[in-house]
Protein backbone atom coordinates (compact mmCIF):
# COMPACT_ATOMS: atom_id res chain seq x y z
CA UNK A 1 0.00 0.00 0.00
CA UNK A 2 1.21 3.50 -0.78
CA UNK A 3 0.93 6.43 1.58
CA UNK A 4 1.24 9.91 0.12
CA UNK A 5 0.90 13.29 1.72
CA UNK A 6 0.43 16.67 0.06
CA UNK A 7 2.41 19.63 1.25
CA UNK A 8 0.36 22.38 2.80
CA UNK A 9 1.33 25.94 3.66
CA UNK A 10 1.15 26.66 7.37
CA UNK A 11 -0.54 29.91 8.28
CA UNK A 12 1.91 31.07 10.89
CA UNK A 13 4.98 29.96 12.74
CA UNK A 14 4.78 29.10 16.41
CA UNK A 15 7.32 27.79 18.87
CA UNK A 16 7.47 24.45 20.60
CA UNK A 17 6.36 25.97 23.92
CA UNK A 18 2.77 26.45 24.97
CA UNK A 19 1.45 29.13 27.24
CA UNK A 20 2.61 27.28 30.34
CA UNK A 21 6.13 26.89 29.01
CA UNK A 22 5.97 23.11 28.54
CA UNK A 23 7.66 21.92 25.35
CA UNK A 24 5.70 19.89 22.86
CA UNK A 25 8.14 17.05 23.48
CA UNK A 26 7.41 17.12 27.23
CA UNK A 27 3.67 17.24 26.61
CA UNK A 28 3.76 14.32 24.19
CA UNK A 29 5.82 12.21 26.61
CA UNK A 30 3.58 13.13 29.56
CA UNK A 31 0.61 12.00 27.49
CA UNK A 32 2.33 8.67 26.81
CA UNK A 33 3.12 8.23 30.51
CA UNK A 34 -0.47 8.95 31.51
CA UNK A 35 -1.35 5.31 30.94
CA UNK A 36 0.91 3.73 33.52
CA UNK A 37 4.09 5.75 33.88
CA UNK A 38 7.32 6.08 31.89
CA UNK A 39 8.45 2.50 32.52
CA UNK A 40 5.43 0.92 30.86
CA UNK A 41 4.79 3.57 28.18
CA UNK A 42 6.78 1.75 25.43
CA UNK A 43 4.49 -1.27 25.76
CA UNK A 44 1.56 0.90 24.70
CA UNK A 45 3.15 2.61 21.71
CA UNK A 46 0.77 0.89 19.27
CA UNK A 47 -2.12 2.67 21.04
CA UNK A 48 -0.41 5.99 21.78
CA UNK A 49 1.02 6.78 18.33
CA UNK A 50 -2.29 6.34 16.41
CA UNK A 51 -4.16 8.47 18.96
CA UNK A 52 -1.71 11.38 18.75
CA UNK A 53 -1.72 11.00 14.97
CA UNK A 54 -5.54 11.15 14.98
CA UNK A 55 -5.48 14.23 17.23
CA UNK A 56 -3.32 15.97 14.62
CA UNK A 57 -5.75 14.91 11.86
CA UNK A 58 -8.73 16.20 13.85
CA UNK A 59 -7.18 19.58 14.61
CA UNK A 60 -6.04 20.11 11.02
CA UNK A 61 -9.52 19.12 9.81
CA UNK A 62 -10.96 21.73 12.20
CA UNK A 63 -8.68 24.39 10.70
CA UNK A 64 -9.80 23.44 7.20
CA UNK A 65 -13.46 23.55 8.25
CA UNK A 66 -12.92 27.02 9.75
CA UNK A 67 -11.37 28.18 6.47
CA UNK A 68 -14.40 26.92 4.53
CA UNK A 69 -16.79 28.36 7.13
CA UNK A 70 -15.23 31.79 6.71
CA UNK A 71 -16.29 31.65 3.06
CA UNK A 72 -19.75 30.06 3.39
CA UNK A 73 -20.91 31.52 6.70
CA UNK A 74 -20.99 28.63 9.19
CA UNK A 75 -19.23 25.46 10.29
CA UNK A 76 -22.46 23.52 9.77
CA UNK A 77 -22.34 24.35 6.07
CA UNK A 78 -18.63 23.64 6.04
CA UNK A 79 -19.28 20.12 7.39
CA UNK A 80 -21.89 19.56 4.70
CA UNK A 81 -19.58 20.74 1.90
CA UNK A 82 -16.66 18.64 3.13
CA UNK A 83 -18.91 15.58 3.35
CA UNK A 84 -20.10 16.18 -0.23
CA UNK A 85 -16.62 16.86 -1.66
CA UNK A 86 -13.69 15.29 0.18
CA UNK A 87 -11.25 17.08 -2.13
CA UNK A 88 -11.91 20.27 -0.17
CA UNK A 89 -9.84 18.87 2.70
CA UNK A 90 -6.68 16.86 3.04
CA UNK A 91 -8.30 14.01 4.99
CA UNK A 92 -12.05 13.83 5.51
CA UNK A 93 -12.99 12.83 9.07
CA UNK A 94 -16.53 11.47 9.56
CA UNK A 95 -16.62 12.78 13.13
CA UNK A 96 -19.42 15.31 13.53
CA UNK A 97 -20.03 16.81 17.00
CA UNK A 98 -23.62 17.42 18.11
CA UNK A 99 -22.71 21.10 18.13
CA UNK A 100 -20.81 21.87 14.89
CA UNK A 101 -18.95 24.65 16.70
CA UNK A 102 -17.25 22.07 18.93
CA UNK A 103 -13.87 20.59 17.93
CA UNK A 104 -13.96 17.40 15.89
CA UNK A 105 -11.74 15.68 18.49
CA UNK A 106 -14.52 16.17 21.05
CA UNK A 107 -16.35 13.22 19.49
CA UNK A 108 -13.56 10.98 20.80
CA UNK A 109 -12.94 12.96 23.97
CA UNK A 110 -16.55 12.71 25.13
CA UNK A 111 -16.73 8.93 24.92
CA UNK A 112 -17.92 7.77 28.34
CA UNK A 113 -18.97 4.13 27.99
CA UNK A 114 -17.26 1.36 26.04
CA UNK A 115 -14.44 3.74 25.21
CA UNK A 116 -12.19 1.12 23.62
CA UNK A 117 -14.94 -0.03 21.29
CA UNK A 118 -15.87 3.57 20.47
CA UNK A 119 -12.30 4.63 19.62
CA UNK A 120 -11.84 1.55 17.43
CA UNK A 121 -15.08 2.29 15.59
CA UNK A 122 -14.10 5.92 14.94
CA UNK A 123 -10.60 4.94 13.74
CA UNK A 124 -12.05 2.45 11.28
CA UNK A 125 -14.58 4.99 10.04
CA UNK A 126 -11.77 7.49 9.35
CA UNK A 127 -9.78 4.84 7.47
CA UNK A 128 -12.85 3.83 5.43
CA UNK A 129 -13.23 7.41 4.18
CA UNK A 130 -9.50 7.80 3.46
CA UNK A 131 -7.90 4.92 1.52
CA UNK A 132 -4.43 6.31 2.26
CA UNK A 133 -5.01 5.68 5.96
CA UNK A 134 -6.33 2.13 5.60
CA UNK A 135 -4.19 -0.34 7.51
CA UNK A 136 -2.44 2.54 9.27
CA UNK A 137 -4.79 3.80 11.97
CA UNK A 138 -7.46 1.09 11.78
CA UNK A 139 -5.20 -1.88 12.50
CA UNK A 140 -5.30 -1.43 16.29
CA UNK A 141 -8.19 -2.77 18.35
CA UNK A 142 -8.50 -0.55 21.43
CA UNK A 143 -10.92 -3.08 22.85
CA UNK A 144 -8.61 -6.10 22.47
CA UNK A 145 -8.27 -8.65 25.26
CA UNK A 146 -5.69 -11.25 26.22
CA UNK A 147 -6.93 -14.22 28.25
CA UNK A 148 -10.10 -12.28 29.00
CA UNK A 149 -8.26 -9.18 30.24
CA UNK A 150 -8.35 -5.86 28.35
CA UNK A 151 -4.93 -4.95 26.96
CA UNK A 152 -5.68 -1.32 27.78
CA UNK A 153 -8.72 -0.79 29.97
CA UNK A 154 -11.15 2.11 29.59
CA UNK A 155 -9.79 3.97 32.61
CA UNK A 156 -6.25 4.12 31.23
CA UNK A 157 -7.52 4.84 27.73
CA UNK A 158 -9.63 7.70 29.10
CA UNK A 159 -6.56 9.09 30.91
CA UNK A 160 -4.58 8.95 27.67
CA UNK A 161 -7.30 10.69 25.65
CA UNK A 162 -7.60 13.41 28.26
CA UNK A 163 -3.83 13.95 28.36
CA UNK A 164 -3.72 14.23 24.55
CA UNK A 165 -6.65 16.66 24.65
CA UNK A 166 -4.71 19.28 26.62
CA UNK A 167 -2.86 20.61 23.56
CA UNK A 168 -4.03 21.60 20.13
CA UNK A 169 -2.05 20.32 17.12
CA UNK A 170 -3.62 22.31 14.27
CA UNK A 171 -2.03 24.31 11.47
CA UNK A 172 -2.18 27.53 13.49
CA UNK A 173 -0.71 25.87 16.57
CA UNK A 174 2.32 23.94 15.40
CA UNK A 175 4.18 23.53 12.12
CA UNK A 176 4.57 20.12 10.54
CA UNK A 177 8.30 20.01 11.22
CA UNK A 178 7.73 20.73 14.93
CA UNK A 179 5.02 18.11 15.42
CA UNK A 180 7.16 15.78 13.31
CA UNK A 181 10.19 16.30 15.53
CA UNK A 182 8.05 15.71 18.60
CA UNK A 183 6.64 12.52 17.09
CA UNK A 184 10.21 11.36 16.41
CA UNK A 185 11.06 12.24 20.00
CA UNK A 186 8.25 9.99 21.19
CA UNK A 187 9.48 7.15 18.96
CA UNK A 188 12.98 7.61 20.41
CA UNK A 189 11.60 7.46 23.96
CA UNK A 190 9.86 4.21 23.08
CA UNK A 191 13.14 2.91 21.67
CA UNK A 192 14.89 3.65 24.97
CA UNK A 193 12.58 1.23 26.71
CA UNK A 194 12.24 -1.17 23.81
CA UNK A 195 15.26 -3.39 24.46
CA UNK A 196 16.29 -5.61 21.56
CA UNK A 197 13.16 -4.73 19.56
CA UNK A 198 14.18 -1.07 19.35
CA UNK A 199 16.59 -1.75 16.51
CA UNK A 200 13.70 -2.93 14.37
CA UNK A 201 12.20 0.54 14.06
CA UNK A 202 14.69 3.20 15.17
CA UNK A 203 18.11 4.52 14.14
CA UNK A 204 19.81 7.14 16.36
CA UNK A 205 19.02 10.56 14.83
CA UNK A 206 22.64 11.72 14.70
CA UNK A 207 23.58 8.67 12.62
CA UNK A 208 20.73 9.36 10.22
CA UNK A 209 21.69 13.04 10.00
CA UNK A 210 25.29 12.19 9.07
CA UNK A 211 24.16 9.69 6.44
CA UNK A 212 21.69 12.11 4.86
CA UNK A 213 24.17 15.00 4.81
CA UNK A 214 26.85 12.88 3.14
CA UNK A 215 24.44 11.58 0.48
CA UNK A 216 23.61 15.22 -0.44
CA UNK A 217 20.15 14.66 -1.95
CA UNK A 218 19.00 17.09 -4.63
CA UNK A 219 15.43 18.29 -5.31
CA UNK A 220 13.39 15.47 -6.81
CA UNK A 221 15.91 12.78 -5.86
CA UNK A 222 14.43 9.29 -5.48
CA UNK A 223 15.50 7.74 -2.16
CA UNK A 224 14.83 4.17 -1.09
CA UNK A 225 15.07 2.37 2.24
CA UNK A 226 14.50 -1.39 1.89
CA UNK A 227 14.04 -1.93 5.64
CA UNK A 228 12.69 1.46 6.65
CA UNK A 229 11.48 0.84 10.22
CA UNK A 230 9.61 3.94 11.37
CA UNK A 231 10.83 5.90 8.33
CA UNK A 232 13.36 8.02 10.20
CA UNK A 233 16.20 7.73 7.67
CA UNK A 234 13.94 8.79 4.79
CA UNK A 235 12.73 11.76 6.82
CA UNK A 236 16.34 12.74 7.65
CA UNK A 237 17.08 12.90 3.92
CA UNK A 238 14.18 15.29 3.32
CA UNK A 239 15.33 17.44 6.23
CA UNK A 240 18.88 17.48 4.79
CA UNK A 241 17.50 18.70 1.45
CA UNK A 242 15.47 21.44 3.15
CA UNK A 243 18.58 22.61 4.99
CA UNK A 244 20.58 22.73 1.76
CA UNK A 245 17.86 24.72 -0.05
CA UNK A 246 17.11 27.03 2.87
CA UNK A 247 16.53 30.58 1.70
CA UNK A 248 14.96 29.60 -1.60
CA UNK A 249 11.35 30.56 -2.24
CA UNK A 250 8.83 28.08 -0.80
CA UNK A 251 7.66 25.69 -3.47
CA UNK A 252 10.53 26.55 -5.82
CA UNK A 253 12.28 23.23 -5.18
CA UNK A 254 10.81 19.77 -5.59
CA UNK A 255 10.65 17.54 -2.52
CA UNK A 256 12.38 14.19 -2.43
CA UNK A 257 10.54 11.11 -3.67
CA UNK A 258 10.68 8.71 -0.74
CA UNK A 259 10.22 4.95 -1.02
CA UNK A 260 10.46 2.29 1.66
CA UNK A 261 9.58 -1.28 2.51
CA UNK A 262 9.03 -2.71 5.98
CA UNK A 263 8.40 -6.29 7.06
CA UNK A 264 6.67 -5.79 10.43
CA UNK A 265 3.07 -4.60 10.03
CA UNK A 266 2.96 -2.37 13.14
CA UNK A 267 6.26 -0.74 12.17
CA UNK A 268 5.00 -0.25 8.61
CA UNK A 269 2.01 1.63 10.03
CA UNK A 270 4.34 3.67 12.23
CA UNK A 271 6.40 4.69 9.17
CA UNK A 272 3.30 5.84 7.29
CA UNK A 273 2.08 7.90 10.25
CA UNK A 274 5.55 9.38 10.68
CA UNK A 275 5.75 10.56 7.07
CA UNK A 276 2.23 12.00 7.07
CA UNK A 277 2.68 13.83 10.36
CA UNK A 278 5.93 15.32 8.98
CA UNK A 279 3.88 16.48 5.96
CA UNK A 280 6.18 14.60 3.59
CA UNK A 281 5.53 12.56 0.46
CA UNK A 282 6.27 8.87 0.60
CA UNK A 283 5.38 5.41 -0.61
CA UNK A 284 5.82 2.63 1.94
CA UNK A 285 5.25 -1.01 0.97
CA UNK A 286 4.84 -3.92 3.36
CA UNK A 287 6.62 -7.27 3.06
CA UNK A 288 9.95 -9.08 3.29
CA UNK A 289 12.36 -7.10 1.11
CA UNK A 290 15.03 -9.79 1.06
CA UNK A 291 12.71 -12.51 -0.24
CA UNK A 292 10.16 -10.37 -2.09
CA UNK A 293 11.17 -6.76 -2.86
CA UNK A 294 8.11 -4.78 -3.88
CA UNK A 295 9.74 -2.07 -5.98
CA UNK A 296 10.25 -3.54 -9.44
CA UNK A 297 10.20 -2.56 -13.10
CA UNK A 298 8.98 -5.57 -14.99
CA UNK A 299 11.09 -8.52 -13.94
CA UNK A 300 13.93 -6.39 -12.59
CA UNK A 301 14.56 -4.41 -9.45
CA UNK A 302 13.58 -0.76 -9.62
CA UNK A 303 16.64 1.44 -9.18
CA UNK A 304 17.00 4.70 -7.26
CA UNK A 305 19.30 7.70 -6.95
CA UNK A 306 20.03 7.00 -3.29
CA UNK A 307 19.62 4.10 -0.90
CA UNK A 308 19.76 4.58 2.85
CA UNK A 309 19.24 1.78 5.34
CA UNK A 310 19.92 0.23 8.71
CA UNK A 311 19.08 -3.47 8.28
CA UNK A 312 18.92 -5.66 11.34
CA UNK A 313 22.49 -6.77 12.04
CA UNK A 314 23.67 -10.36 11.72
CA UNK A 315 20.39 -11.81 10.48
CA UNK A 316 20.57 -15.59 10.36
CA UNK A 317 17.29 -16.78 8.89
CA UNK A 318 18.19 -16.65 5.20
CA UNK A 319 19.31 -19.92 3.65
CA UNK A 320 21.41 -20.65 0.58
CA UNK A 321 18.14 -21.50 -1.15
CA UNK A 322 17.01 -17.89 -0.67
CA UNK A 323 20.10 -16.70 -2.50
CA UNK A 324 20.04 -19.44 -5.17
CA UNK A 325 16.40 -18.78 -6.04
CA UNK A 326 16.99 -15.06 -6.59
CA UNK A 327 15.93 -13.97 -10.07
CA UNK A 328 16.80 -10.29 -9.73
CA UNK A 329 20.59 -10.43 -10.31
CA UNK A 330 21.33 -9.19 -6.80
CA UNK A 331 24.21 -11.59 -6.15
CA UNK A 332 26.82 -11.37 -8.95
CA UNK A 333 28.56 -14.63 -9.86
CA UNK A 334 31.98 -13.21 -9.11
CA UNK A 335 30.96 -12.19 -5.62
CA UNK A 336 28.66 -15.02 -4.72
CA UNK A 337 26.72 -14.55 -1.53
CA UNK A 338 27.57 -14.52 2.16
CA UNK A 339 26.94 -17.36 4.57
CA UNK A 340 23.53 -17.95 6.15
CA UNK A 341 24.67 -15.97 9.19
CA UNK A 342 25.33 -13.14 9.07
CA UNK A 343 23.44 -11.72 6.08
CA UNK A 344 24.93 -8.21 6.34
CA UNK A 345 26.65 -8.31 2.96
CA UNK A 346 23.60 -9.90 1.39
CA UNK A 347 21.73 -6.73 2.31
CA UNK A 348 24.55 -4.62 0.86
CA UNK A 349 24.24 -6.59 -2.40
CA UNK A 350 20.50 -5.89 -2.52
CA UNK A 351 21.11 -2.18 -1.96
CA UNK A 352 23.82 -2.07 -4.62
CA UNK A 353 21.43 -3.73 -7.09
CA UNK A 354 18.81 -1.07 -6.20
CA UNK A 355 21.08 1.82 -7.28
CA UNK A 356 21.00 3.39 -10.73
CA UNK A 357 24.21 4.03 -12.68
CA UNK A 358 24.98 7.20 -10.70
CA UNK A 359 23.50 6.00 -7.43
CA UNK A 360 24.94 6.27 -3.94
CA UNK A 361 24.10 4.44 -0.73
CA UNK A 362 24.68 4.70 3.01
CA UNK A 363 24.20 1.49 5.01
CA UNK A 364 24.58 0.91 8.76
CA UNK A 365 26.22 -2.44 9.53
CA UNK A 366 27.64 -4.40 12.42
CA UNK A 367 31.31 -3.53 13.02
CA UNK A 368 32.36 -7.08 12.19
CA UNK A 369 31.05 -6.73 8.62
CA UNK A 370 34.13 -4.64 7.85
CA UNK A 371 36.64 -7.29 8.94
CA UNK A 372 35.13 -10.78 9.31
CA UNK A 373 37.15 -13.34 7.36
CA UNK A 374 40.24 -11.18 6.93
CA UNK A 375 43.33 -13.06 8.08
CA UNK A 376 41.50 -16.36 7.71
CA UNK A 377 43.72 -19.14 6.41
CA UNK A 378 40.89 -20.47 4.26
CA UNK A 379 38.18 -18.96 2.12
CA UNK A 380 35.47 -16.82 3.68
CA UNK A 381 32.30 -15.90 1.81
CA UNK A 382 31.85 -12.57 3.57
CA UNK A 383 35.41 -11.55 2.72
CA UNK A 384 34.89 -12.64 -0.88
CA UNK A 385 31.84 -10.38 -1.23
CA UNK A 386 33.68 -7.52 0.48
CA UNK A 387 36.64 -7.99 -1.89
CA UNK A 388 34.29 -7.90 -4.89
CA UNK A 389 32.97 -4.51 -3.80
CA UNK A 390 36.54 -3.19 -3.36
CA UNK A 391 37.77 -4.61 -6.66
CA UNK A 392 34.84 -3.01 -8.48
CA UNK A 393 35.62 0.34 -6.79
CA UNK A 394 32.16 0.67 -5.29
CA UNK A 395 33.12 1.48 -1.69
CA UNK A 396 33.66 5.20 -1.28
CA UNK A 397 33.90 5.57 2.51
CA UNK A 398 33.57 3.70 5.79
CA UNK A 399 32.65 5.45 9.04
CA UNK A 400 33.43 3.81 12.40
CA UNK A 401 30.89 5.03 14.96
CA UNK A 402 31.21 5.51 18.74
CA UNK A 403 30.06 2.78 21.11
CA UNK A 404 26.66 2.64 22.79
CA UNK A 405 24.67 4.77 20.31
CA UNK A 406 22.15 2.14 19.28
CA UNK A 407 19.25 1.08 21.48
CA UNK A 408 19.52 -2.66 20.86
CA UNK A 409 23.29 -3.04 21.29
CA UNK A 410 26.34 -1.36 22.78
CA UNK A 411 28.43 -2.25 19.71
CA UNK A 412 29.68 0.78 17.74
CA UNK A 413 28.61 -0.16 14.22
CA UNK A 414 29.87 1.26 10.92
CA UNK A 415 28.32 3.17 8.04
CA UNK A 416 29.31 1.89 4.61
CA UNK A 417 29.03 4.44 1.78
CA UNK A 418 28.74 3.11 -1.78
CA UNK A 419 29.08 5.09 -5.00
CA UNK A 420 28.48 3.61 -8.45
CA UNK A 421 30.05 6.65 -10.12
CA UNK A 422 33.05 7.62 -8.00
CA UNK A 423 34.87 10.77 -9.17
CA UNK A 424 38.24 10.11 -10.80
CA UNK A 425 40.18 11.59 -7.90
CA UNK A 426 38.56 9.09 -5.53
CA UNK A 427 38.97 5.97 -7.63
CA UNK A 428 41.28 3.21 -6.48
CA UNK A 429 41.02 4.11 -2.80
CA UNK A 430 38.62 4.16 0.14
CA UNK A 431 38.20 6.99 2.65
CA UNK A 432 38.14 5.79 6.26
CA UNK A 433 36.91 7.77 9.27
CA UNK A 434 37.38 6.57 12.86
CA UNK A 435 34.87 8.63 14.85
CA UNK A 436 34.97 6.33 17.88
CA UNK A 437 35.94 9.22 20.16
CA UNK A 438 33.51 11.81 18.75
CA UNK A 439 30.69 11.48 21.27
CA UNK A 440 29.37 12.60 24.63
CA UNK A 441 28.16 10.40 27.46
CA UNK A 442 24.39 10.19 27.77
CA UNK A 443 21.72 8.33 29.69
CA UNK A 444 20.86 5.68 28.70
CA UNK A 445 22.88 6.03 25.50
CA UNK A 446 25.84 8.02 24.24
CA UNK A 447 25.23 10.61 21.56
CA UNK A 448 27.11 12.64 18.95
CA UNK A 449 26.68 16.39 19.66
CA UNK A 450 25.83 18.81 16.83
CA UNK A 451 29.45 19.94 16.46
CA UNK A 452 30.51 16.31 16.17
CA UNK A 453 27.84 15.61 13.54
CA UNK A 454 29.05 18.59 11.48
CA UNK A 455 32.71 17.55 11.88
CA UNK A 456 32.09 13.97 10.76
CA UNK A 457 29.82 14.93 7.86
CA UNK A 458 32.20 17.63 6.58
CA UNK A 459 35.12 15.20 6.82
CA UNK A 460 33.29 12.54 4.80
CA UNK A 461 31.96 14.96 2.19
CA UNK A 462 35.31 16.65 1.62
CA UNK A 463 37.57 13.59 2.09
CA UNK A 464 39.51 15.65 4.60
CA UNK A 465 42.40 13.75 6.14
CA UNK A 466 42.98 14.48 9.81
CA UNK A 467 45.36 12.79 12.20
CA UNK A 468 43.66 10.24 14.47
CA UNK A 469 40.37 10.77 12.64
CA UNK A 470 40.56 10.05 8.93
CA UNK A 471 42.71 8.97 6.00
CA UNK A 472 42.29 7.49 2.56
CA UNK A 473 43.69 4.02 1.91
CA UNK A 474 44.44 2.74 -1.58
CA UNK A 475 43.25 -0.66 -2.73
CA UNK A 476 46.75 -2.14 -2.62
CA UNK A 477 46.96 -1.50 1.12
CA UNK A 478 43.48 -2.95 1.64
CA UNK A 479 44.53 -6.07 -0.29
CA UNK A 480 47.68 -6.33 1.84
CA UNK A 481 45.41 -6.37 4.90
CA UNK A 482 43.22 -9.08 3.37
CA UNK A 483 40.38 -6.65 2.61
CA UNK A 484 39.82 -5.53 6.15
CA UNK A 485 38.09 -2.15 5.69
CA UNK A 486 37.53 -1.30 9.36
CA UNK A 487 38.74 2.26 10.04
CA UNK A 488 39.99 1.16 13.47
CA UNK A 489 42.53 -1.08 11.69
CA UNK A 490 44.17 1.89 9.96
CA UNK A 491 43.45 4.88 12.21
CA UNK A 492 44.43 4.75 15.88
CA UNK A 493 43.08 7.36 18.26
CA UNK A 494 45.10 8.68 21.19
CA UNK A 495 43.05 6.60 23.61
CA UNK A 496 43.04 3.49 21.47
CA UNK A 497 45.38 1.51 23.71
CA UNK A 498 43.27 2.12 26.80
CA UNK A 499 39.78 2.33 25.35
CA UNK A 500 39.69 -0.04 22.41
CA UNK A 501 36.08 -1.13 21.72
CA UNK A 502 35.24 -4.53 23.18
CA UNK A 503 33.55 -5.59 19.92
CA UNK A 504 36.78 -4.92 18.03
CA UNK A 505 38.86 -6.94 20.53
CA UNK A 506 36.44 -9.89 20.35
CA UNK A 507 36.53 -9.80 16.56
CA UNK A 508 40.34 -9.86 16.53
CA UNK A 509 40.38 -12.76 19.02
CA UNK A 510 38.03 -14.69 16.73
CA UNK A 511 40.38 -14.10 13.79
CA UNK A 512 43.39 -15.23 15.87
CA UNK A 513 41.52 -18.36 16.95
CA UNK A 514 40.68 -19.25 13.34
CA UNK A 515 44.30 -18.69 12.30
CA UNK A 516 45.52 -20.86 15.19
CA UNK A 517 43.23 -23.71 14.16
CA UNK A 518 44.53 -23.47 10.60
CA UNK A 519 48.13 -23.51 11.80
CA UNK A 520 47.51 -26.53 14.07
CA UNK A 521 45.91 -28.45 11.20
CA UNK A 522 48.80 -27.69 8.86
CA UNK A 523 51.33 -28.75 11.52
CA UNK A 524 49.53 -32.04 12.15
CA UNK A 525 49.51 -32.81 8.41
CA UNK A 526 53.26 -32.17 8.20
CA UNK A 527 53.97 -34.35 11.25
CA UNK A 528 51.86 -37.17 9.82
CA UNK A 529 53.74 -37.04 6.54
CA UNK A 530 57.13 -37.38 8.23
CA UNK A 531 55.80 -40.10 10.49
CA UNK A 532 56.08 -38.30 13.82
CATH of the domain at 30: 1.20.1260.30
Report the SS3 class of residue 235.
helix
pLDDT for residue 253: 82
Query: What is the pLDDT at residue 503?
Result: 64
Alpha carbon dihedral 209, 213, 216, 222, in 10-degree steps, equals: -10
> How many domains does the structure of the chain reveal?
2
* 326 and 270 within one domain: yes
Q: What is the pLDDT of residues 239-264, one digit of tens each?
A: 999 998 887 766 668 999 999 999 99
Q: Which of 142, 168, 191 is the last residue of a domain?
A: 191
> 210 and 224 in contact (C-beta within 8 Å)?
no
Residues 310 and 177 in one domain: no
Domain membership flag for residue 524:
no
User: In terms of domains, do 161 and 228 share one?
Assistant: no
Residue 521 domain flag: no
| 168 & 229 share domain | no
170, 264: one domain? no
Is residue 438 one of the residues assigned to a domain? Answer: yes
Alpha-carbon Rg for the chain in angstroms: 26
> Does residue 386 contact residue 483 with C-beta atoms inside 8 Å?
yes
The CA-based diameter of the chain, rounded to the nearest angstrom, is 105
Nearest to 169 by CA among 268, 330, 58, 37: 58
Q: What is the pLDDT of residue 250?
A: 64
Residues 144 and 226 in one domain: no
Domain-embedded: residue 102: yes
Does residue 532 lie within any of the structural domains? no
Ranges of the chain with pLDDT below 70: 1-22, 38, 194-200, 249-252, 339-341, 377-378, 494-504, 507-508, 511-516, 518-519, 521-522, 531-532
Q: Is 271 inside a domain boundary?
A: yes
CA distance 353 to 385: 14
Domain assignment present for residue 216? The answer is: yes
Long-range CB contact pairs, 140-147, < 8 A, 24+? 140/46, 140/47, 140/50, 141/116, 142/47, 142/115, 142/116, 142/117, 143/114, 143/116, 143/117, 144/116
- Same-domain check for residues 203 and 300: yes
* Shared-domain flag, residues 181 and 321: no
CATH number of the domain bearing residue 217: 3.40.50.150
Asked whether residue 97 falls in the same domain as residue 206, the answer is no
Q: Which residues contact 279 (CB under 8 A, 6 or more apart)?
A: 5, 7, 8, 176, 177, 180
DSSP characters for 180-192? HHHHHHHHHHHHH
Identify whether the C-beta of residue 397 lies closer than 8 Å to the C-beta of residue 443.
Answer: no
Q: How far is CA 332 from CA 291, 326, 344, 501, in A?
A: 17, 11, 16, 34
Convert the pLDDT of each residue in 434-477 to its tens digit: 999 999 999 888 999 999 999 999 999 999 999 999 999 999 99
What is the DSSP track for 261-295?
EESSHHHHHHHHHHHHHTT---EEEES-TTT--S-
Regarding whether 497 and 361 lie in a shared domain, the answer is yes
What range defines the domain where residue 89 resides?
24-191
User: What burial letters (b/e) apply to 33-66, b meaning 16+ CB within 10 Å?
Assistant: bbbeeeeebbbbbbbbbbbbbbbbbbbbbbbbbe
Distance CA 168, CA 62 (A): 11
Please list, residue by residue across 400-432, b when 16 or more beta carbons sit within 10 angstroms of its beta carbon and e when fewer do.
bbbbbbbbbbebbbbbbbbbbebeeeeeebbbb
In this prediction the pTM is: 0.85
The secondary element (H helix, E strand) that includes residue 415 is: strand 414-419
Q: In the prediction, which pLDDT does 508 show?
A: 66
What pLDDT is stored for residue 172 in this prediction? Answer: 87
Please check whether residues 43 and 178 belong to one and the same domain. yes
Residues 376 and 494 in one domain: yes
Which residue in 417, 372, 290, 390 sits closest to 335, CA to CA?
390
What gap in Å lies between CA 287 and CA 306, rounded to an integer? 21
Q: Residue 285 falls within a domain, yes or no?
A: yes
Amino acid sequence: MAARAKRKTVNKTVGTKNERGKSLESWIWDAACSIRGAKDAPKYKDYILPLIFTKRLCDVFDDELNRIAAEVGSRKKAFQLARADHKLVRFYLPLVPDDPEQPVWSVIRKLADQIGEGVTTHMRAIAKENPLLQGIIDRVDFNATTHGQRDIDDDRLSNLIEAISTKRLGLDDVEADIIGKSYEYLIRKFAEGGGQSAGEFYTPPEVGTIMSKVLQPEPGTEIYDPCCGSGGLLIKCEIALEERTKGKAKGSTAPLKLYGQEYIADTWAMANMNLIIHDMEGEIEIGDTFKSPKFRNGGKLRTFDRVVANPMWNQNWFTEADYDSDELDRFPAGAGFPVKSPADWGWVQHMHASLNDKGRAAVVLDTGAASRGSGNAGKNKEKTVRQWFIDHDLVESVLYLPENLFYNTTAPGIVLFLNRAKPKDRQGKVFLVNASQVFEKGDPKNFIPPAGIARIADTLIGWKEEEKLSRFVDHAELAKNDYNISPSRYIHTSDAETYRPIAEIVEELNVIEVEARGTDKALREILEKIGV
